[in-house]
Amino acid sequence: MKDRFLEKMAIEHKNLLKNINKLLFFLIVIIPLILISLYYLVIASDKYVSEAKITIKSTGESSAKLSFGPFTFGSSLAREDAYFLKEYIHSYDMLNYLEENLKIRTLYTNPKIDFWSRLDKDATQEEFFEYYKDQVKIIFDEISSVLTIKVKAFTPEDAKRINEAILEQCERYLNSVSNKIAREQMNFIEKELQSTNQRVNQAKQVLMKFQNTHKVLDPTQEAQAILATIAQLESQLVNKEAELKTLKTYLSENAFQVQVLKQQIVSLKEEIEKEKARLLGPGDTKLNRLMMEYLTLKLQTDFLTDVYKATLSSFENTRVEASRKIKTLMIIQAPNLPEEALYPKRGYMIFLSLILSLLTYGIAVLVVGIIKEHVS
């Protein structure tokens, strides 16, 4: 009697497990697979992809590459510019531009789009931005510094229009940034050039005023002339003194020739003192003081003139360098008009859903079996 009861309980337990497994298979595999297949085969909207490829080229960009073993990478400047452009495409500024010009919120909230794929009409700006980044994918090639822009939309025309608008705004943005940098460089060097020119003119005016006030063109030349005169007078004085010494050897002090020579010597000494007074005399008009002031003003004027020449040369170099740094957007592949929808990948998604459902079902059966063994 007891054995029959245990046997009956085992049969009922086995049937219960079988029924539970059937129910789990129906709930976890059959129903989800039917719903997913219904969605992808009947409801899901076609999504088209327009692709474009671009890179950034500078007018004066060097052809230098970065090499690491067998790998060669593009210019670091081009890579940096491409990174900046990538971030700009995925920015609120680009989203606002597209919304202002194409009304892309309306394109993605179209009621004809299936409920799962379309953007909610009441979506916040942040939700709209995240949705936009999902629809605009950017692939960056580290080797060639090429950006591949893939735009998803629910009609081929919309995908192409959005991609074209992105490229137009990218080109406008690049021109704006590069021109702004060049303009700022030129404005800075122009201000420096004007300032230096003004300082040179002021220094020249001060020098001219000094010359006009003191009625002297170049005190250094006048000082050299005085020194030459003093040297000549001193040479004559030495000769006269030597001659006087010779006369005294055979003439008396009162001799006429001795007296005349003494008078000439006194005159030479007075003339020498007079010339020295012109050069080193007291007051603000003495020539050595004028010469020092003149040399200071002349040195300042020459220095500022040299600075002006250097600034002018820098201005020309900056102008050439600024023109060489102008960046342009090079379109390698223009946005295409897609002919067939690439998304959703219906067969792939249904097959993937089946695999996941079966895995989930297997885990559920295993869990139920473990629970039943513990309970019994």
Q: Which residue has the higher pLDDT, 267 or 180?
A: 267
- C-alpha separations of 136 from 49, 90, 101, 156, 342 in Å: 9, 8, 17, 14, 14
pLDDT tens across 188-212, in order? Answer: 777 887 888 888 888 888 888 877 8
Residues 6+ away with beta carbon under 8 Å from 66: 72, 73, 74, 75, 76
- The phi, psi pair for 90, rounded to 5°, reads -95, 55
What integer is the mean pLDDT of 73-77?
A: 56
Nearest to 55 by CA among 115, 133, 168, 141: 141
Residue 65 has pLDDT above 70, yes or no: no
What global pTM score does this model have?
A: 0.61
pLDDT tens across 233-246, in order? Answer: 888 888 878 887 88
What is the dihedral sign for C-alpha 223, 229, 233, 235? positive
- The phi, psi pair for 69, rounded to 5°, reads 60, -130
Q: What is the pLDDT of residue 51?
A: 95
Kindly state the helix (H) or strand (E) to which residue 286 belongs, with its residue range.
none
Could you tell me if residue 51 is inside a domain?
no
pLDDT tens across 269-297, in order? Answer: 878 777 766 666 554 446 667 777 777 88
Could you tell me if residue 256 is inside a domain?
yes
Which pair of tokens denotes residue 32?
């989800």
Nearest to 33 by CA among 356, 342, 345: 356
Report H helices in the chain: 2-25, 31-38, 76-89, 92-102, 104-108, 125-135, 156-214, 219-248, 256-280, 287-324, 346-375
What's the burial of 9, exposed, middle or buried (CB within 10 Å: 0-12/13-18/19+)? exposed
Residues 6+ away with beta carbon under 8 Å from 227: 279
Nearest to 279 by CA among 263, 291, 266, 261: 291
Parent domain of 269: 210-324
What is the dihedral sign for C-alpha 212, 214, 216, 218? negative
Could you tell me if residue 305 is inside a domain?
yes
Rounded to the nearest integer, the mean pLDDT of the chain is: 80
Taking the mean position of all CA atoms in its chain, how far away is CA 331?
21
Q: What is the pLDDT of residue 130?
A: 95
Percent of the chain past pLDDT 70, that is, above it, reads 78
Could you tell me if residue 282 is inside a domain?
yes
pLDDT tens across 249-276, in order? Answer: 777 777 777 788 878 888 888 787 777 6
Q: What is the pLDDT of residue 279?
A: 61
Could you tell me if residue 363 is inside a domain?
no
Residue 337 has pLDDT above 70, yes or no: yes
Q: Is 26 helix (H, G, I), strand (E, B) or coil?
A: helix
- 106-111: long-range pairs with CB below 8 Å, 24+: 107/153, 107/154, 107/158, 107/162, 108/135, 108/153, 108/154, 110/154
Could you tell me if residue 113 is inside a domain?
no
Could you tell me if residue 264 is inside a domain?
yes
CA distance 51 to 190: 44
Residues 6+ away with beta carbon under 8 Å from 144: 55, 74
Could you tell me if residue 292 is inside a domain?
yes
| Number of domain units in the chain | 1
Which pair of tokens denotes residue 160?
């192409």
Q: Which residue has the higher pLDDT, 243 or 2?
A: 243
